[in-house]
Structure 1
Amino acid sequence: MGNITGMYKTFAKVCPDKIAIQTNHQQISYQKWDELINQTANWLHSLRSENKTIGILLPNDIPFLQFFAGASRAGWIAVPYDLKWKINELEKRVMLSQPSIIISTREIHSQIQQRIPNVMILEDSLKEMSQFNPATVVETEENLPFYIGFTSGTTGKPKAFVRSQDSWVASFNCSRFDFELDESEQALILGALFHSHFLYGAISTLYLGGTVFLLEKFSPIEAISSITMFPVTTVYVVPTMVEALLKQEVQVDKSIKIISSGAKWSERSKIKIRIMFPNMTMYEFYGASELSFITVLSDRDGIKKAVTVGKPCHGVEVQIRRSNQELAQQNETGKIYVRSKLMINGYFDRHERAIHPIQDNEGWATVHDMGYFDEDGFLYIVGREQNMILYGGINIFPEEIENVLSLHPDVEEVAVIGLFDSYWGQIVTAAVKGKASQLELKRYCKMHLSSYKIPRKWFFLNEMPYTTSGKIARAELINQIESEVASD
């Protein structure tokens, strides 16, 4: 299908002076962008590495995207690393991904050089590559692996996955068909490029021929300022950012599209964001690191089907299966299986230097989410199989209870888990961060939940434990609460 940088040369000829990327201190045209990517690819070719894997440990700026796209054009694999990781967290992921070089700033290099090998300083690398030919580049094979990412689920233990060129090129069609994006887009990227949602937002915009506005780091004040000052038409967000934007208590009348993952959206936030941006169009998607886009909920459908995650994306097939692998009926909960060209190649095994695919022989894969289709073909997510609580023979999905409790104005964060009980098997237990009292929350639950779903035990925490990807670490939370129970 091609390379994720395949359209740059066309845009460099057709609209050479159009801005490809703009930051607070720099802007770069499509002609200059294409030349930079050629120089980066030619520089990488000159290194003659057998491994052909480059780690990127850089702040949000043009060089991050330059090395990522340049590696793709050179037929290399790019591995973004998170600047927020502690040194031991970084070490684990470097060992998993096995890069031949890592590009970082001089300041970061001085902090990690004793523990992390093969680090090259950004400024030195940029100086070297400026000497290389900006006009042409050696052709590479198509559909090579180009991206290693990490997923940790709820355990906090990282796994490395590998993605091919074709998977993202196919995903760009979702951007066109499902999000209705094209070359006219002026996309504001609010989050760190390490995270695939924001990296994809930037790279897909460049593939379509739009302009990327890049923030160095997320700030709600700076985000609103950028939306109002620049010709921004599209904003990539995650729900936690929306919560921060809402606290600014301003109204922005500009017509914009908001593209968000569907995770952790509360009904309260959805109502408030429409008040804040009265002329916005919202696109929410449900996906997974391994499976990419699965379903999309358009602005039109979001009004009448707000609690769903929408319908399958362009080119994506979705099935709901019972435990015996038979297809479930409408409104019957089962495990969600997906088949598409958007998926990862598989998990990377550093010892074997092999990729283990996630699909079965017919191309179907699952991340063990549970859900159902309604009579109109909209998908509802019930929860994740591994989080399911077995209470006296009844299956309870904590996500349903979390969604209710998160609507309470005095609840900042909540996680629902199952604690062992000799009689019931497991009992529903809530861990809450916020100002609400136990009695208040119990009464609130009685208004919205069946009696057997109301938590029997309550724990109030100052902070939640998190995985490195920012999710609540359920396994760690269970251990923490079990230890507290045992000490009582």
Structure 2
Amino acid sequence: MNITSTYPLRAQTCPDSFFVKTKEQAFTYKEWEDMTKRAASWLLSVGHPGETIAVTALNRWETLVIFCGAARAGWTFMPLDPRMTKVEREERLHIAAPRLLIGKDSLAKTGQLIMNTEPTDFCSNDGETIFYSGFTSGSSGVPKQFGRSHRSWIKSFEAGLSDFLLTGQETAVIAGPIHHSLFLYGAAFALYTGQKLILHEKFWPQHITQTLKEAPSFVMYAVPTMLESLMKTNDVEGEGIVFLSGAGWTGERKQQWVTQYPNAVLYEFYGASELSFVSYMTPKDYSHKPSSSGKPSTGVEIEIRQGSQVLPAGETGTVYVKSPMLFSGYAKNDSYEMNIEEDGFYTVSDAGYMDEDGYLYIVGREQFMIISGGVNVYPEEVERVLLKHTGVKEAAVTSIQDIHLGERIVCMYTGNVDPTRLKSHAKACLSIEKIPRKWACVDSLPHTTNGKIARSDLKKMALEVFK
């Protein structure tokens, strides 16, 4: 079980057909298989299976080749957001301690090294090997490293093939940043199933609409902000499937897309880095279950629990998932551990309920996590940075609804510092998507009886302050 195991067959059956295209390069099926072998060989010449390579994951062919080569060689691929600050990057590197680090200025050179390396036939075949590692911030705001095995993603590929109307003849259009698990998954799915793959360097709406027009049939992965931008162009043509994830898009906007672009069929799935697919929405669901997260994906069982009690339909509790697609756990003491229930169910502490028809509804995602522009942002992580400013006494971050971003991050604080200076402080330590869009210095913040920020009251306060 290796996510690259299907490459050799296609290299043999259609060697000279176009497979992967980026701004700089184009590869046939045979050429991509050869490059994957060369990347694996290069890694094995500088280290051993089980080690980690961290890559500043620009949307370039070199990033994808390193990802595939690492998977084949039994290494772990860890993508880093190019927009990370030095502080954020060093914190994650300290936790993961990768064997190799490829910065954005080294990608092209690494690509040349790979091209000049003799290929290897070695391929790791242990399905439990961790091939991909990423980070979630966690409720404390401290990054938590997680790992995914070959088996978990192959099972998710199988679920996708079962749940969605795919023929394998589609062209996968990857226009979002591949350091984001959604877009890396979309690329890996295309490579595994043999879909032709076009990797865009950046998300430019006019370029994307042109690609969609030219593709006989497309598959595009998107978060709400991308679809909002495409709708503004009023130029979405061609036939295909759009996979939406990231939450934050209203039922009304989804229905508008379905009505306006009937040939760009919209599917949506709910999931998490730890869970992979949990449930999915079909175009029909937007009309009669617009606020739901859909029905369970193939192979997934969902229960709503309160403690050890399984709740009936309509009652809100903690969402528990049993699935062959679960992650391998969080990194701890040179291994990966997960706090899974004895019966095989796992939760990321999302709150929700199931209705009588078996549809899942998510009420809150990991308590107070904000999803802005498809990016998960934990208030605690932002607050931790803001409190380092000497002029801040208390800081609290929440969100207000935004039609473009889904949620707009806002900050209220007490102390003696100008909002402009505090924003500059945040920019020095946080990537752009985590920086609050609105700021307000207030007299006091709401607290619970034990002295913590009262998040529900904070949300109400934000609606008044940022009218």
Q: Which TM-score bucket, shorter chain as reference?
A: 0.7 to 0.9
Measured against aligned partners, the alpha-carbon deviations of 1:27-65 in whole angstroms (never above 9, x if no partner) come to 111100000001111111112347621111141011111
CA contact (8 A) 1:54 1:103 kept: yes
The residue aligned with 1:334 is 317
Equivalent residue number for residue 443 of structure 1: none
* Aligned residues with identical type, % of pairs: 35
8 Å contact kept, 1:233–1:257: yes
Aligned to 1:74: 73
Distance 1:382 1:251, change over 3 A: same
How many Å separate the matches in 1 of 2:309 and 2:89?
Answer: 42
Q: What amino acid does structure 2 have at the position aligned with 1:207?
A: Y
Aligned to 2:149: 164
Q: 1:76 to 1:18 in 2, by over 3 A?
A: same
Q: Does the CA-based 8 Å contact 1:431-1:459 persist in structure 2?
A: no
Deviations 1:414-436 (A, max 9, x none): 799x93277xx99786889xxxx
Pairwise CA distance, 1:126: 3.1
Shift in Å at residue 359 of structure 1? Answer: 1.5
Match of 2:196 in 1: 211
2:348 counterpart residue number: 367
Change (3 A) 1:427 1:261: same
Q: One-letter code of the match for 1:336?
A: V
What's 1:311 paired with? 295
1:137 matched to which residue of 2?
122
SS of 1:168's equivalent in the other structure is helix
**Which residue number in structure 1 is paired with residue 327 of structure 2?**
344
Q: C-alpha root-mean-square deviation of aligned residues, in Å?
A: 3.2
Note closer, same or farther for the CA distance 1:407–1:190 as it changes in structure 2 (3 Å cut).
closer
Match of 1:325 among 293, 308, 312: 308
**Stretch of structure 1 that moved more, 263-272 or 337-346:** 263-272
* Corresponding residue of 1:295: 279
Contact 2:63 2:107 (8 Å CA) reproduced: no
Residue of structure 2 aligned with 1:282, choices 248, 266, 272:
266
How far apart are the structure 2 equivalents of 1:408 and 1:125? 37
Mark the runs of 5 or more structure 2 residues left unpaired by the alignment. Answer: 370-397, 413-444
Write the mapping of 1:298-447 to structure 2, written as runs, cut at 5 A. 298-322=282-306, 324-349=307-332, 352-384=333-365, 386-387=367-368, 406=402, 419-420=446-447
Deviation at 1:123, TM superposition (A): 3.8
- Residue in 2 that maps onto 1:24: 23
- Tell which deviates more after alignment, 250-259 or 269-278: 269-278
Q: Which amino acid aligns with 1:381?
A: I
Other structure's SS at 1:360 match:
coil
Work out which of the two has the higher radius of gyration on C-alpha atoms and give 1 or 2: 1
Cα distance in 2 for residues equivalent to 1:431 and 1:273? 33
Q: CA deviation at 1:105?
A: 3.8
More moved, 131-140 vs 90-99: 131-140
The CA deviation at 1:361 is: 2.4
Q: TM-score, normalised by structure 2?
A: 0.79
Give a deviation string over 1:250-300, Cα, whole Å, max 9, x none.
143422211011510113321332344232211100101111110011112
Q: Which residue of 1 aligns with 2:422?
A: none
Task: Within 5 Å, give how 1:56-135 maps onto structure 2.
Answer: 56-106=55-105, 121-134=106-119
Once the two structures are TM-superposed, the CA of residue 183 in structure 1 deviates from its matched residue by 1.9
CA–CA distance in structure 2, aligned partners of residues 154 and 228 of structure 1: 42
Cα displacement (A) at 1:222: 1.8
Structure 1 range deviating more: 354-363 or 280-289: 354-363
1:437 alignment counterpart? none
TM-superposed CA distance for 1:413, in Å, is: 6.4
- What are the Cα deviations for residues 101-122 of structure 1, in whole angstroms up to 9, with x where unaligned? 112343xxxxxxxxxxxxxx33
Give unpaired runs (5+ residues) of structure 1.
Answer: 107-120, 389-401, 433-454, 463-488
**Residues 8 and 427 of structure 1, relative CA distance in 2, 3 Å threshold:** closer
Within 2, Cα distance between the matches of 1:220 and 1:338? 36
> Are the aligned partners of 1:253 and 1:278 in contact in 2 as well (CA < 8 Å)?
no
Q: 1:362 to 1:173 in 2, by over 3 A?
A: same
Give the Å deviation of 1:408. Answer: 11
Distance change in 2, residues 1:427/1:99 (3 Å): closer
Quick one: which amino acid aligns to residue 312 of structure 2? Q
Give the Cα separation in 1 of the matches to 2:303 and 2:20.
Answer: 39
Q: Give the match's secondary structure for 1:382.
A: strand
Q: Alignment partner of 1:420: what SS? A: coil
CA 1:150–1:227 in structure 2 vs 1: closer, same or farther (change >3 Å)?
A: same
